[in-house]
Structure 1
Amino acid sequence: MIRAVQLCPVHLLATELRWTSGSITTNRAKLSYQLGNPGRPSPEPTITIVITDDSGSVIGPAGADPVSNRYDEAWRAFRAIGRRGAGHELGAVLHFDAPTSGDVPPTPLTRSGLQRLRSGLHVPRDAAGTSCLGTSLQAAAEMADHYANYEAMLIVLSDFELFDDNVSQVLDDLANFPGDVHAVILGGTPVDGVLHDRIRVTPANYDDPPGTVARAVFGGLTARRPGSWVADQ
Structure 2
Amino acid sequence: MTVYGRERGEPWFELGFPGLDPVRPSLDILCFDHSGSVVAPGGTDPIGRRFLEAKQAIRIVQAWTYTSRPKVAVIHFDQPSAGNSGAVPLNSTHAGRQLAAALKVPIDAAGSSNLAPSLTVAEELAKAHPDHDVRFTILSDFQITDLDPETVFKRLADFPGQVHAVLLNAPAPPDLAGENITITEIAHGDAPGALSAAIHRSLTATRRGRRLSVLHADRTRPSIPPLSPEHSRKGNR
TM-score (norm 1): 0.85
Say whether residues 1:45 and 2:45 are aligned partners: no
TM-superposed CA distance for 1:111, in Å, is 5.7
Is the alpha carbon distance of 1:192 and 1:123 closer, same or farther for their aligned partners in structure 2, counting shifts above 3 Å?
closer
Q: Which residue of 2 aligns with 1:176?
A: 158
- Cα shift readout 1:64-90 (whole Å, capped 9, x = no counterpart): 000011111111111111111121211
Q: Which residue of 2 aligns with 1:106?
A: 87
Please give the alpha-carbon distance, in whole angstroms, between the structure 2 residues aligned to 1:73 and 1:217: 8
The one-letter code sitting in structure 1 at the alignment partner of 2:210 is: S
Task: For structure 2, list consecutive stretches of 5 or more residues without a partner in the other structure.
Answer: 1-6, 216-237
Aligned-partner Cα distance in 1 for 2:72–2:150: 28
- The alpha carbon displacement at 1:222 in A equals 0.5
For residue 43 of structure 2, the aligned residue among 44, 58, 63 is 63
8 Å Cα contact 2:142-2:173 kept in structure 1: no
| Unaligned 5+ runs, structure 1 | 1-24
**Counterpart in the other structure of 1:214:** 196
| Counterpart contact for 1:84–1:110, Cα < 8 Å | no
| Kept in 2: contact 1:50–1:154 (CA 8 A) | yes
CA distance in 1, matches of 2:52, 2:80: 21
Partner of 2:75: 94
Aligned to 1:104, the other structure's residue is in SS state coil
Per-residue deviation, residues 3-61 of structure 1 (Å, max 9, x unmatched): xxxxxxxxxxxxxxxxxxxxxx77xx432321111110001111000000000000011
- 2:100 is equivalent to residue 118 of structure 1: yes
Counterpart of 1:181 in structure 2: which amino acid?
V
Question: What TM-score, normalized to structure 2?
Answer: 0.84
> What is the rounded CA distance, in whole Å, between the counterparts of 1:68 and 1:41 in structure 2?
30
Tell me how large the CA RMSD over aligned residues is: 1.3
**Residue-pair matches, total:** 206
The reply to whether residue 81 of structure 1 matches residue 61 of structure 2 is yes
Q: Which runs of 4+ in 1 moved over 4 A?
A: none
The residue number in structure 2 matching 1:195 is 176
Q: Please give the secondary structure, in 1, of the residue aligned with 2:71.
A: strand
Query: Comparing both chains, which one has the higher relative contact order based on Cα–Cα distances under 8 Å and sequence gaps of 6 or more?
Result: 1
Distance 2:23 2:134 in 1: 14
1:202 counterpart letter in structure 2: T
Report the identity percentage. 35
Counterpart position of 2:52: 72
Aligned equivalents of 2:115, 2:173: Cα separation in 1: 19
